[in-house]
Amino acid sequence: MSEKIAPQDTCVLVTGGAGFIGSHTVVELLQGGYQVVIVDDLSNASAKVVDRIKTIVGEPAAANLTFYEADVNDRAALTKVFNEHHPSRVIHFAGYKAVGESVSKPIEYYANNIGNTLTLVDVMREHGCKSIIFSSSATVYGDPDSLPLTEESPKKPATNHYGWTKWMIEQILTDLHTADPEWNVVLLRYF
């Protein structure tokens, strides 16, 4: 029987944790007693968000938050985070997010969103961390045949490059779990 880990003994890495959804998640984790490390390059956020998080949760919870301004594609920065904090799980929000922009900058979206995920899971694997929650999107359903959509609705070809990055990352993480069932992978599809 596995031993349950208390939240205060558990460190959660939140990539993109200074963004809108990430910052709200960080607040909930801190209020739940978790140690939280944010890695965010601030391309879609501001460092002021980290201060606001600390104000919202107050002490002593705010002392459980560490922030690194870094790109998730930066293997050295991620390795430093894992060596210093030993996160046992990751919630992955980091990535470019503008559907319209993805149409005019497909290579940038593929390189950033897929590249940072590959770097992240490789560093996770090197450090024995096999638990990831991925912030996906309902765009993986493409043009659905019927509504409403459910979790059982089939994925369809995406209608934009942002959607394709989410679709491909879901496949990568699913393949990772298939190859090694010890990986705990959760895919969140927002509407």
pLDDT digits (tens, 9 = 90+) for 124-144: 999 999 999 999 999 999 999
Domain ranges of the chain: 7-188
Tokens of 139: 């765009």
Quote the pLDDT of residue 175: 98
Query: How many C-beta atoms surround the C-beta of residue 148 within 10 A?
Result: 7
> Is the omega angle on the peptide bond into residue 60 within 30 degrees of 0, that is, cis?
yes
- Report long-range pairs for 126-129 (Cβ below 8 Å, ≥24 apart): 126/79, 126/82, 127/82, 127/83, 127/86, 129/82, 129/87, 129/88, 129/89, 129/90
Q: Tell me which residues are annotated as active site.
A: 162
Positions of the chain with pLDDT under 70 = 1-8
pTM (predicted TM-score): 0.93
User: Which of these CATH numbers, 3.30.70.270, 3.40.50.720, 3.30.365.10, 3.40.50.880, describes 7-188?
Assistant: 3.40.50.720
Quote the pLDDT of residue 150: 87
Quote the pLDDT of residue 7: 66
Quote the pLDDT of residue 152: 87
Quote the pLDDT of residue 1: 42
- For 1-130, strand residue ranges (E) read 11-15, 35-40, 65-69, 89-92
Quote the pLDDT of residue 8: 60
